[in-house]
Amino acid sequence: QVQLVESGGGVVQPGGSLRLSCAASGFTFSNYGMHWVRQAPGKGLEWVTFIWYGGNNKYYADSVRGRFTISRDNSKNTLYLQMNSLREEDTAVYYCAKSDSGGPGYFDYWGQGILVTVSS
């Protein structure tokens, strides 16, 4: 069965950096695009970024472009999110989600999420 397990969250000061990981299993990771989605406390869902199956093309929300970088290691079945210049408004639960295809499709499987808190 498909499993997505996020790690690397925690508390960081404004301006700091954090790297999230998402370990994937139960499917051929290298065939599918992957997303990061976040949810601020008590708020709705916000799509953050997407990476194509091969890792060559990436898309970002305006709110994180230039600060966040998505990447993947298909040999390790792992997705990453490098978050730099963090702001208090980046505080959220971050979910990795599998696309239904190699491109930016709908999200057919989700991880349980990992909390990132940006606070001084």
Residues that bind another protein (CB under 8 A): 35, 44-47, 50, 59-62, 95, 100, 103-113
Both tokens of residue 80? 């990453």
| Residue among 25, 26, 82, 89 nearest 51 (CA) | 82
CB 118 to another protein: min, Å:
21
CB 28 to another protein: min, Å:
18
Nearer to another protein, 29 or 111 (CB): 111
Nearer to another protein, 55 or 113 (CB): 113
Neighbours of 77 (CB within 10 A): 16
Nearer to another protein, 1 or 75 (CB): 1
Residue type, 45: L
Q: In the chain, what is the straight-line distance between the N-terminal and C-terminal CA atoms, in Å?
A: 40
How many residues in total does the chain contain? 120
CB 95 to another protein: min, Å:
6
Both tokens of residue 118? 């940006």
Secondary structure element (H or E) that encloses residue 116, with its range: strand 114-118
Nearer to another protein, 80 or 94 (CB): 94
CB 107 to another protein: min, Å:
6
